[in-house]
Amino acid sequence: MTRAGATLGDIPARVPWTALRSFVEHLDSSSELMKEMHPETADWQGASRVPMILADIYDLLAIFRWQYATANTKKGKKKPKKPKPYERPGASREKKGTRIGRDPIPISEFDTWWDGSDD
């Protein structure tokens, strides 16, 4: 059993080699070790990459379906609405132009603000 704060210097005295091997085998694909060992595939397997690719595929299929339905709509019938893009993981839901904060701090007051003192 390993203890908190174990280092590589604890191998093999307190942390067995099998524990280190198990730790390395179960590292996430976005870990620095995996990026070093497999730089060509590390970025493709990251936790944020796969959902983004799936969202792109969803959007392409939705556009294809919409174009097909639009092209095959009979004259005089209402055409289908263009699909909205799939919401991206981590994408901001706020509208563009939303401002956070207020006017900039005057340069004469910046040091006081930065230091966090009200002297």
Structural domains in the chain (count): 1
Residue 81 forms part of a structural domain:
no
Query: Is residue 62 situated within a structural domain?
Result: yes
Residue 41: give the domain boundaries.
10-71
Task: State both tokens at 58.
Answer: 């969803």
Q: How far apart are the first and last CA of the chain?
A: 52
108 within some domain: no
Supply the pTM of this predicted model: 0.47
Q: What is the pLDDT along the chain (119 residues), one digit of tens a residue?
A: 445 677 778 788 888 888 888 888 888 777 888 888 878 777 676 666 778 888 999 999 999 999 999 999 999 999 999 999 998 866 665 555 666 677 888 888 888 888 876 65
Please state, in angstroms and rounded to a whole number, the distance separating the CA atoms of residues 104 and 86. 35
Question: Does 15 reside within a domain?
Answer: yes
